[in-house]
Structure 1
Amino acid sequence: MALIEINGINLNVSVKGEGHPVILIHGVGGEQAHLENLTNRLSSRFKTIALDCRGHGQSDKPAQYTLQDHINDVIGVMNYFELPVTALLGVSMGSYIAQGVAIAAGNRIDKLILTVPKSNGLTSSVQRLMSEHAAEIQGMNLHEVFLYLLRYFTYDAEAMRAYIGIFDSQLPPEQFAAANKALEGFDFREDLHKVTAQTVVISGKYDGLNPPAEGRICAELIPNATFIEMLYSGHAPMYEEPEAYMSAVEAFLLKEQAPVVA
């Protein structure tokens, strides 16, 4: 891992493997370590580039930032590593960022993997769920909150307790609040038709944060996108159905791009 300066701040970026590049983007409050099971497997065939988004992990933590800042940072990472074309894999918040990048720099994204996405939101999905259950979680710390809320966004909450770390945030309350605020009021629905990347959208049937209906909207608005609903997953299919999820991702990344007919 190394800190690199992008858009005036330091981002923690990890590069593994060789081959066609795949940039991986984590969820709100998280960090690239939450995607290690993906990078470890994909780096045997691809060059994986995983980052701690601004405000997260070991990257700089400005007091305020926006979703557009995240989008600009990923494009900055592409420029830093001189990537003319790359694949993008975004999970939850990472899928929002990936949508924005695919819209803004479409000619540089050849494969787009949107995992548990939504196309728009008045707040972050985490903030919405916490607000809906405010009375139940009152007085709990963030770790306790996520343990309690697992039942609402995973297929098997008891089994997922073993992976609670991927939902927990190491950010203090004010930084976690800034991370969530950055996602307020985004809406890509009018622009998703501009995405030219070959796209797969993967949702979990039991996801109460970004339900499959949200993923279907993304897939319907992106030209020729494929939608996959994982039947025994919620918001973390890479942990709930790891082999099925990774097999789908690898098959998609290895699939030849259809030729463009003039």
Structure 2
Amino acid sequence: MNITISGSDTAIYYEITGKGYPLVLLHGQYMNTTMFDSFERDFRDDFQLIKIDLRGHGYSDKPLHINMEDYITDVMAVMNELYIRQANFIGYGLGGMVAQAIAIRYPELIQRLILISVGNEPFNDSQERFRMEFANLLRTMKPDDRTKLLSRYMYHDLKKVNRWMKGLKDTEESMTNLERKAVDHSTDGVDLLSQSDLISAPTMIVSGAHDHLIQPDHGKTLSEKITNSSYMLFENSGHAPMIEERDRFVNDVKMFLSPSMDI
């Protein structure tokens, strides 16, 4: 088990596979390194994959107070541990926000940046707007039925998403309410959109057309803010385009990260 110590003596878990130029993979909220396991065979021959459990997630420590600065410190601690001075980054949801924040603060650390299902507001705001959209239906439903309804409006290909989620390790079940609260509010008040014009790395932004949680126009707005960026709308996807349209995603990422793109 690979552990490094981040700020406030927080233990951060990470995994390394593959060989080649480093590719840092940052998971979504309430997920962990296992969300990227199915992609190892696609990228490990060309890249050294560094998968990190951000604090509050996976096998990393779960403090009772977390902010964006903490997440950035976690990633920096792993990079320093591995003597990585620059890398490609793929971030999904919360992980995309963290990668985006690093690209703003430390542009020299990022060669290329891929942001998946990343909006232009704190996640809690997106989640609250999403739930309010269906409030009249949700208030009369049981919790399990609410989850099923919301999933229908988050994802387009639920069969693929459900198969993927069954393969994820469950590291949330033992979390306390206070630990969950720390994660829930870790991005409160974070405004990355207004600073995104400072991102200099070539950036690919991926949105799913059927995502009601992080709506596609948020990704489009973000792309317009980053000078050297491309926006990709996956027409047959919701909140998990890398799973719902896996083949296209793998091909697009390989093309974007290809050395030939640097010419």
TM-score, normalization by structure 2: 0.89
Whole-Å Cα distance in 2 between the matches of residues 136 and 63 of structure 1? 29
Distance 1:81 1:54 in 2: 18
Instruction: Return the offset for 1:89.
Output: 0.5
Higher mean C-alpha deviation, range 201-210 or range 188-197? 188-197
Distance 1:41 1:217, change over 3 A: same
One-letter code aligned to 2:204: V
Q: Which residue of 2 aligns with 1:89?
A: 90
Instruction: Name the counterpart of 2:213.
Output: 209
Q: CA deviation at 1:77?
A: 1.7
Residue 199 (structure 1) aligned to one of 200, 203, 206? 203
CA positional deviation for 1:144: 5.9
Distance (Å, rounded) in 2 between the aligned partners of 1:150 and 1:107: 38
Q: How far apart, CA to CA, are the structure 2 residues paired with 1:81 and 1:149?
A: 40
User: For residue 75 of structure 1, what is the aligned residue in structure 2?
Assistant: 76
Cα 1:79–1:183 change in 2 (3 A) is: same
Tell me the CA shift for residue 128 of structure 1.
4.3
Cα gap change, 1:185 to 1:37, in 2 (>3 Å): same
String of CA shifts for 1:2-28, please: whole Å, max 9, x gaps: 222122211110000111001000000
Q: 1:145 to 1:53 in 2, by over 3 A?
A: farther
Which residue is equivalent to 1:222? 226
Please provide the CA RMSD for this pair. 2.4
Task: Write the letter of the residue equivalent to 1:24.
Answer: L
Q: Structure 1 stretch 250-259 or stretch 91-100: which is displaced more?
A: 250-259
Contact between 1:111 and 1:197, CA under 8 Å: does it hold in 2? Answer: yes
**Structure 1 residues 145-154 or 184-193, which shifts more?**
145-154
Structure 1 CA distance for aligned equivalents of residues 45 and 125 of structure 2 = 33
2:172 aligned to which of 160, 170, 175? 170
Specify the SS of the correspondent of 1:44: coil
Is 36-45 or 166-175 further displaced after alignment?
166-175
Shift of 1:68: 1.9
1:244 to 248, 251, 254: 248
Residue 59 of structure 1: SS of its match in structure 2? coil
Q: Tell me the alpha carbon deviations over residues 23-53 of structure 1, each in whole angstroms, 9 at most, x when there is no partner.
A: 0000001111012122342112100000111
- Aligned partners of 1:61 and 1:131: how far apart in 2? 29
Counterpart position of 2:18: 17
Structure 1 residues without counterparts, runs of 5 or longer: none
Identity fraction in percent: 27
Letter in 2 for 1:5: I
Contact conserved, 2:5 with 2:77, CA < 8 A, in 1? no
- The number of equivalent residue pairs is 258
- Work out whether residues 71 and 101 of structure 1, in 8 Å CA contact, stay in contact via their aligned partners in 2: yes
2:187 aligns to what SS in structure 1? coil
Cα offset, 1:235, TM superposition: 0.6
Q: Counterpart in 2 of 1:188? A: 192
Which of 176-185 and 79-88 deviates more?
A: 176-185
Check 1:29–1:125 CA distance in 2 against 1; reply closer, same or farther (3 A cut): farther
* Contact 2:55-2:62 within 8 A present in 1 as well: yes
The one-character-per-residue Cα deviations of 1:165-190 (angstroms, maximum 9, x if unpaired) are: 46987243613332111022211122
Does the CA contact (< 8 Å) of 1:150 and 1:160 recur in 2?
no
**AA at the equivalent of 2:190:** F
Q: Which runs of 5+ in 2 are unaligned?
A: none
CA distance in 2, matches of 1:167, 1:220: 36
Cα distance, 1:140 vs structure 2 = 4.9
In structure 2, C-alpha distance between the alignment counterparts of 1:209 and 1:256, rounded to whole Å:
35
Greater CA drift, 225-234 or 169-178: 169-178
My pick for the range that moved more, 106-115 or 147-156, is: 147-156
8 Å contact kept, 1:25–1:90: yes
CA-to-aligned-CA distance 1:70-123 (integer Å, 9 cap, x gap)? 122112222221111111100011110010010111011010000111132372
Distance 1:185 1:240 in 2: 31
**Letter aligned with residue 4 of structure 1:** T
- The answer to whether the 8 A contact 2:24-2:89 is kept is yes
Partner SS for 2:249: helix
**1:194 shift after superposition:** 1.1
8 Å contact from structure 1 (residues 88, 109) kept in 2: yes
